Amino acid sequence: MNIELFVLILFAGAVLAGLLGSLTGLGGGAIIIPLLTMGLGVDMRFAVGTALVTSIATSSGAAAAYIREGITNTRIGMFLEIATTMGAVIGALIAVYMPTNIIALIFGCVLIFSAYMSVRKKDRNIDYSAPGDKWGVKMKLNGSYPTPTGIVQYNVHRVAGGYSLMTFAGVISGLLGIGSGALKVLAMDIAMKIPFKVSTTTSNFMIGVTAAASAVIYLQRGYIDPGLAMPIVPGVLLGAFLGSKILPRANVQKLRLLFSLVIAFLALQMIYNGLTDKI
């Protein structure tokens, strides 16, 4: 395969990854890593390093818009970033010494869980204004966000539990090179009872910092290849932009179901390749 064709395949795959990631909320790494490892035969650690660079770029672009809209809770984000950053460094250090087939197995399992979290039915009968955790009050984590019907106030619950889950999400992010958004939503949306819009936008705000922490370890070990990252980063950004235009007019639930099935198929392929030592 010549270099021009290789770069074209990378760019086209990145556009698709950005599109699917923005429509499903699973992130571009869920597509980029299987494309690089199973499709193009790239070493798993180089694929993870490339996905981390991609996460930094996409998170930085989207986070600014959500902050301007007043949805992101930056105090919660900066507090929980302490947990995810520590976890990401630990995960990256583990990944350097862990066999690639084991990383592939873990990656497949996390993808299946992420696909499930993307299509699960969410509890809409939550009283977000109910009295929350005392630590939420002390650290001024409670907040509000704008909606078409007015400002919605919310209080944060189970701060310690959310912090623990975020540390684990950081480990997974550093180990696999994905945003681990499903785990972050599990921590904020379910454990801490933060409104879904706030939890997803705050998670996006945090992803870039988490990825940057673990990317340093991969860079020091030589697992970030600029030749792979160069066509993928603009491709993912373009795909995410297209997805943001399609999303308002699309049937989101059906799209998420369809693409989650695709993600689950890729996950099973990764697990199979991990079990048979093909990665």
CB 73 within 8 A of CB 141: yes
Question: For residue 154, which phi and psi values (nearest 5 degrees)?
Answer: -145, 150
The amino acid at 182? A
166-183 pLDDT per residue, tens: 999 899 988 988 766 667
Average pLDDT, the chain: 84
56-114 pLDDT per residue, tens: 877 766 666 677 778 889 999 999 999 999 999 999 999 988 999 999 999 999 888 88
The DSSP H or E segment spanning 108 is: helix 100-119
Tokens in use for 241? 């932009």
Crossing angle for the helix pair 100-119 and 159-176, to the nearest 10 degrees:
130
CB 4 within 8 A of CB 19: no
Domain coordinates in residue numbering, the chain: 3-275
Question: What is the model's pTM?
Answer: 0.83
Please give the C-alpha separations between residue 143 and each of 83, 128, 173, 206, in angstroms, as whole numbers: 20, 10, 27, 17
- pLDDT band of residue 196 (cuts 50, 70, 90) is confident
More confident residue, 50 or 248: 50
Of residues 275, 183, 254, 206, the one with CA closest to residue 23: 254
